[in-house]
């Protein structure tokens, strides 16, 4: 981004490279799913769609463009992964000029997984910028009450985290509070405090919306 501005989460390059950049690591058993995969399922929650329509949502002026950017090649890699998981299905149909194209749809199992993911608060403050914002975007569009409940759960999670950070700071010997560990914990605490202030503002705005009674 120019001038040091912090932009949307940007996932680029080949699938392996982008997965590594996103923090994904090979795991045995159930595959790990990235926020972009849930974003794709959220888009398909509105109905079946072709790849180009899905990709448009991640463009700068798209539905999720201000939160997350996703290169088309990686998007298809994620869709195929979701298809193997049984959360997405695909069918091939004839497009313009006789060219074939694939239409993707979410399965009942995918809907269940997506709804469960949306309802859960994120665990770390750094995940608010990307993961939580995607959750909030879909929750707000679907039902303001779901969004209010999500913000409430995230507020509680952030409050618990802040309490733990303050306890860690309090346990530090006086000689270490101005050292690296103390500075890092202090920074995390400040970030969490700022997040709590922002969450209060979000909840106030959502609460002011028609029909936005808490679903907690």
Q: Please report the pLDDT score of residue 101 as a whole number.
A: 85
DSSP string, 99-128: -EEEEEEE-HHHHHHHHHHHHSPPSSGGGI
CA end-to-end span of the chain, whole Å? 38
Architecture of domain 2-119: Orthogonal Bundle (1.10)
Cα 87–Cα 52–Cα 10 angle in degrees, nearest 5: 80
- 52 neighbors 96 (Cβ within 8 angstroms): no
> Which pLDDT score is estimated for 14?
40
- Which of 55, 73, 67, 82 shows the shortest CA–CA distance to 13? 73
Q: Are 172 and 182 in contact (CB under 8 A)?
A: yes
| pLDDT mean for each 10 residues of the chain (216 residues) | 48 43 44 92 96 95 95 95 96 75 96 96 94 97 94 97 95 89 94 97 80 47
Q: Which pLDDT value is given to residue 174? A: 87
């Amino acid at each position: 981004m120019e001038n040091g501005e912090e932009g949307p989460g940007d996932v680029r390059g080949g699938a392996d490279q982008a997965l590594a950049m996103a923090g994904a690591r090979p795991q045995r058993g159930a595959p790990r799913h990235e926020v972009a995969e849930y974003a794709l399922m959220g888009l398909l929650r509105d109905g079946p769609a072709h790849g180009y329509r899905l990709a448009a949502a991640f463009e700068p002026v798209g539905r999720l463009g201000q939160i997350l950017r996703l290169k088309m090649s990686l998007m298809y890699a994620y869709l195929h992964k979701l298809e193997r998981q049984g959360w997405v299905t695909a069918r091939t149909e004839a497009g313009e000029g006789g060219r074939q194209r694939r239409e993707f749809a979410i399965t009942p199992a995918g809907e269940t997984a997506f709804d469960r993911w949306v309802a859960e608060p994120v665990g770390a403050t750094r995940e608010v910028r990307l993961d939580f914002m995607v959750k909030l975007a879909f929750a707000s569009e679907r039902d303001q009450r779901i969004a209010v409940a999500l913000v409430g759960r995230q507020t509680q999670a952030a409050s618990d985290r802040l309490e733990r950070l303050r306890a860690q700071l309090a346990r530090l010997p006086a000689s270490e509070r101005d050292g690296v560990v103390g500075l890092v914990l202090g920074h995390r605490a400040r970030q969490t405090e700022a997040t709590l202030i922002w969450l209060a503002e979000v909840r106030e705005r959502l609460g002011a919306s028609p029909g936005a009674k808490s679903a907690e």
